[in-house]
Amino acid sequence: MHRLVATAVLLALAPAMLPAQVGKGLLDLNTATEAELAALPGMSAAIVKDFVGRRPFATIVEADAALRPALDSAARVAVYRKAFIHVNLNAASDAELALIPDAGRRTIGEMKEYRPYDGFAKFRKELGKYRFIREKAGELERLESYSFIPLDLNSAGDDDLRTIPGLGARMLREFKEYRPYDGMAKFRKEIAKYVPAREVERLARYVEVRGR
C-alpha cells in the first residue's frame, strides 16, 4: 500500500521534474512588451520604439547591433543581465555566447566542448565538472537561463513547448496539429499560414525534427 502511494506521488510530480529545453528566468527581447523593455536599464522611450520596430531579431547578435548606437557596452550588459535572446547550446557562435554577461573564454570553450546536448541534464553534468563554475553559486542555472536546446517537434510535451518565448495557446495547438513532421520544411510551410516569415524563423530556432 505504501509503495503504491509513493509511486502515485512520483507520477504526479514527474511532469514538474522534467527539464524544459528553453532556459527560464530572463525576459525575452523579442517578445517583451514596450513597458517591460522601458523598465530595463538605459532603455528610453525612443530606444524602445526603435528596437521594437526592428523585431524579431534572429539572434542576440542582431539585437546587440540594434542597441549599439544607443547604448555603450556597459549599458548593454546591464540590459542582458535582465533580458536576452536565448542561444542554441548546440549551434551558437562564439559571438552569441560572448554576449552572455560574465561568460569568459574558458566558459564559452567548455560550453562548446560537449556539443551536441540532448538536454540540460548533460549540460549540467559536463559543466558541473569544473571548479571555476562550481565555485560561483548558481552559475550553472544562470548559464542555462541564457540558453536553449532545440525541442523535437514530434515528441515535445506541452510544458516544454510553452517555454518557447511568445508561444501562446493558439500556436501551441498549431505546432501539434501538423504532427508528425518529416522535416523543418513542413513546419515552415504550415506555421507560415498563421504568422509572417520572420516570426516563423524566430519560432523555428527553438525546434527541430529528430531521427530523420
Read off the pLDDT of each residue in 155-162 and give the average, rounded to a whole number: 95
- Position with higher pLDDT, 18 vs 93: 93
Q: According to the model, what pLDDT value does residue 9 have?
A: 38
Read off the pLDDT of each residue in 178-197 and give the average, rounded to a whole number: 97
Q: How large a percentage of the chain has pLDDT more than 70?
A: 90
The C-alpha atoms of residue 195 and residue 204 are separated, in whole angstroms, by 12
CA 180 → CA 77, 107, 121, 187, 192, distances in Å?
41, 37, 26, 10, 17
Q: With the CA atoms of 205, 109, 64 and 151 taken in that order, what torsion angle do they form, in degrees rounded to the nearest 10?
A: 10
pTM: 0.88
The C-alpha atoms of residue 32 and residue 42 are separated, in whole angstroms, by 16
Contact status, residue 45 vs residue 165, Cβ threshold 8 Å: no
Read off the pLDDT of each residue in 185-206 and give the average, rounded to a whole number: 97
Whether the pLDDT of residue 52 is over 50: the answer is: yes
Q: According to the model, what pLDDT value does residue 212 have?
A: 59
Q: According to the model, what pLDDT value does residue 211 have?
A: 78
The C-alpha atoms of residue 38 and residue 43 are separated, in whole angstroms, by 5
Whether the pLDDT of residue 43 is over 50: the answer is: yes
Whether the pLDDT of residue 23 is over 90: the answer is: yes
State how beta strands 147-148 and 27-28 pair.
Answer: unpaired
Read off the pLDDT of each residue in 31-40 and give the average, rounded to a whole number: 98
Whether the pLDDT of residue 180 is over 50: the answer is: yes
Read off the pLDDT of each residue in 62-67 and give the average, rounded to a whole number: 98
CB burial of residue 207 (10 Å; 0-12, 13-18, 19+): buried
Q: According to the model, what pLDDT value does residue 208 have?
A: 96
CA 179 → CA 122, 132, 154, 187, 209, distances in Å?
27, 43, 6, 9, 10
The C-alpha atoms of residue 178 and residue 74 are separated, in whole angstroms, by 44
Domain boundaries, the chain: 27-148, 152-208
